[in-house]
Structure formats: structure tokens, C-alpha cells
Amino acid sequence: MEVYIDGKFYPKADAKVSVFDHGFLYGDGIFEGIRLYEGNVFRLEEHLERLEMSAKAIMLQLPWTRKEIADVVCESCRRNNLTDGYIRLIISRGVGDLGLSPKTCPKPSIICIADKITLYPEALYTTGMKIITAATRRISPAALPPMIKSLNYLNNILAKMEALQHGYHECIMLNDQGYVAECTGDNIFLIHKGRLLTPASHAGALIGITRQVALEVAEQLGLKLCETNLTRYDVWNADECFLTGTAAEVIPVIEVDGRTIGSGKPGPMTARILESFRKKVSKEGTRIR
Ligand code: PXG
């Protein structure tokens, strides 16, 4: 495997960054997780647009055009002979002095890792997943807007550890007001009485690329879309529940906090959304070759 760092490809063992990189020292940077399906990069434009918005939010001037970044992504896939894979695109503030100020970092670094990822065991996509609510709250937008896909994942990692400690793969994170925000690396959706419900971004949800796809296909399936505040009560009493993410794709949830969701089996609408999602990823995208 070869990793792209600032204009060159390095073998995995030699793909290293400086300990003075502020991405490492302070988590000062942003990233995207992108999928490659059948030789096509899924929703590349959307990912790059979100990257640009994250960059703007942290006042990081990207010294590359969108086209140049897109080329880095595609070239990383070709270099590694990938047809299907997972791409981690990272922009860090770059090398600087000790001290928080980004002013000591003259140029940002760009890193692209093209590899494979499996987030949850394959069986869970057919049996459905059981999750719990974490005590750790999603960071408030007043502290750090959760829409920024930053290199600061400690908030989510603390929640993820709670899930794992209790024997679960994933957990719901509530926002500081107690409304459902999202899971640690996935957005959450409910289906109730013919409506598709999901927290709005201001409730603490990342504006997920897969979330957008789920909204599109649900609308095509005739569901009414509703971005609204959701409580745990709403989740427990939903007909169906599923999570979306670039790595997770669309995964059914059958139990939350010990409460069975719907029939206790992956729901029929969830199955149709998953099916439409799979069709979309196999025919859309930016060709790498
Ligand atoms: N919420 C959070 C906090 C995320 O980090 C999502 C929602 C889903 O967004 P997308 O755009 O992917 O539909 C994410 C994305 C990983 C991993 O390594 C995590 C994500 C994406 C890819 C890999 O666990 N999170």
C-alpha cells in the first residue's frame, strides 16, 4: 500500500508525519471518509464541498483547487489498484512551533490513504444491530460546531468506548439539551407511521453524505421527510430505526436501550432504503480510470 503525503506516494511503513504537525499536536485539521465502489468514487463532489466548508470554518485556506484534491483521491485509488475501498483524506494545519497558534504553520499538509474498511460485522446488516444511549453528550455547537469534520474525535471516542464496555458496537449520543444527535460515526434515522425522521444538523448531527442519500431514496419511496428534534422516547417507539455512514453504509437497528424496535427484525422500509442505496453506489460516482 502507498500513501499520498504532500505531493508524493510513500510505502505504508514510510508514510509518516512530523510530531510538530498541529494535526498531531492539537487535532488541528479536518478530514473526509470517502468510498470507492466498482471503480467509482461515490459522491466525490459532495465530500470535497464538505471539506471546503470544514476548512472555511477552521480558517484553513486550502492551497489546492477542488480538481487537484479530486485528482489526489483518484490517483491514490489507482496507485493501490483498488476497485472498491475506503479513502481517508486528511488536511492538517501542518508543521509549526509548540503553542496553539496556527500562525506558526506556514503550509497545511494533505494526506490521502486509500484502503479497505469494515466497520461492523457483516451479519449485523441482515440481523440488525442493538445499540444503547451513551452518557457522553455530543459536543455543543457553541463549543465546536459538530458539522465540522475535524480531527478532534475524542468526544465520539469516549462515547464509543462506553458502547464497547457494555458489549455494544454503537451508541446514540444526545446533544447538550438531551435530544438525539447522532451515533459516534453514523447518522440516525427513524421510520414512524410512514414518515422518515432524523435530527437536524443544528441538533448536533454531522451533515452526512450517506444521510443525504438516505433522504433522497426515502423520498423516492414515498416517505415524508422530517428533520426534527427527537427524544429517546421517539426512538424507542419507532416502527424502524437505522444508521447511515460512509463506512457503515445503511445498517438496521433492532433494539435501543433494551427496548425492541418495531418487530425486533430489520424493518421493511429500511430494507428498501438499503436496496436503493446499494443500487445507487453501484451506478453513480466519479470514474477513477
Ligand atoms: N456522524 C459522524 C460523527 C461521523 O463521523 C457520520 C455521521 C456519517 O457521515 P457520512 O458523510 O460518512 O455519511 C460520520 C462519518 C470511521 C469512519 O473511521 C467514520 C465516518 C466516516 C467514515 C469512517 O469510523 N464518519
pLDDT value at residue 117:
84
Boundary-marking domain end, from 115, 140, 161: 115
Decide: 217 and 276 in contact? Cβ < 8 Å: yes
Query: Does this model's pTM top 0.85?
Result: yes
3-state SS of the chain is CEEEECCEEEEHHHCCCCCCEHHHHHCCEEEEEEEEECCEECCHHHHHHHHHHHHHHCCCCCCCCHHHHHHHHHHHHHHCCCCCEEEEEEEECCECCCCCCHHHCCCCEEEEEEECCCCCCCCHHHHCEEEEECCCCCCCCCCCCCCCCECCCHHHHHHHHHHHHCCCCCEEEECCCCCEEEECCCEEEEEECCEEEECCHHHCCCCCHHHHHHHHHHHHCCCEEEECCCCHHHHHCCCEEEEEECCCEEEEEEEECCEECCCCCCCHHHHHHHHHHHHHHHHCCEECC
Boundary-marking domain end, from 61, 86, 115: 115
Distance 206 CA to ligand 1 centre (A): 8
Catalytic sites, residue numbers: 149
Shared domain check, 237 and 108: no
Shared domain check, 270 and 148: yes
Shared domain check, 66 and 132: no
Closest listed residue to residue 148, CA positions, set 44, 242, 65, 27: 27
Shared domain check, 241 and 134: yes
Decide: 33 and 244 in contact? Cβ < 8 Å: no
Shared domain check, 97 and 177: no
Ligand 1 nearest atom to the CA of residue 146, by list position? 3
Instruction: Pick the residue whose CA is nearest to atom 7 on ligand 1.
Output: 186
Shared domain check, 174 and 84: no
In-domain check, residue 288: no
Shared domain check, 133 and 34: no
C-alpha cell at 230: 427527537
pLDDT value at residue 114:
98
pLDDT value at residue 56:
98
pLDDT value at residue 219:
96
Ligand 1 nearest atom to the CA of residue 184, by list position? 3
- The CATH number that applies at residue 183 is 3.20.10.10
| Mean pLDDT of all residues in 246-256 | 96
For ligand 1, mutation pick of 186, 242, 280 (most atoms within 8 Å of CB): 186
* Ligand 1 within 6 A of CB of 35: no
In-domain check, residue 21: yes
pLDDT value at residue 120:
87
Distance 104 CA to ligand 1 centre (A): 30
Tell me how far apart the alpha carbons of residues 216 and 165 are, in angstroms, rounded to a whole number.
35
pLDDT > 90? residue 231: yes
Distance 57 CA to ligand 1 centre (A): 18
pLDDT value at residue 119:
78
Shared domain check, 233 and 128: yes
In-domain check, residue 287: no
Distance 44 CA to ligand 1 centre (A): 15
Domains: count for the chain: 2
pLDDT digits (tens, 9 = 90+) for 112-157: 999 988 878 889 999 999 999 999 999 999 999 999 999 999 999 9
- Say which residue, 283 or 191, is predicted with more confidence: 191
Find the farthest-apart pair of alpha carbons in the chain and give their distance in angstroms, rounded: 57
Distance 97 CA to ligand 1 centre (A): 30
Least confident of 4-18, 54-68, 274-288: 274-288
Boundary-marking domain end, from 96, 115, 134: 115
Mean pLDDT of the chain: 97
Decide: 253 and 130 in contact? Cβ < 8 Å: yes
In-domain check, residue 82: yes
pLDDT value at residue 282:
87
Percent of the chain scoring above 90 in pLDDT: 97
pLDDT value at residue 159:
98
Decide: 239 and 262 in contact? Cβ < 8 Å: yes
Number of other residues whose CB lies within 10 A of the CB of residue 14 = 10
* Ligand 1 within 6 A of CB of 33: yes
Shared domain check, 260 and 157: yes
Shared domain check, 268 and 154: yes
pLDDT > 90? residue 236: yes
pLDDT value at residue 106:
97
Shared domain check, 227 and 133: yes
Instruction: Pick the residue whose CA is nearest to atom 5 on ligand 1.
Output: 185
| Mean pLDDT of all residues in 220-244 | 97
* Ligand 1 within 6 A of CB of 246: yes
- The CATH number that applies at residue 73 is 3.30.470.10
| Mean pLDDT of all residues in 44-52 | 98
Instruction: Pick the residue whose CA is nearest to atom 6 on ligand 1.
Output: 186
Instruction: Pick the residue whose CA is nearest to atom 12 on ligand 1.
Output: 246
Shared domain check, 276 and 229: yes
What domain range is 267 assigned to? 124-280
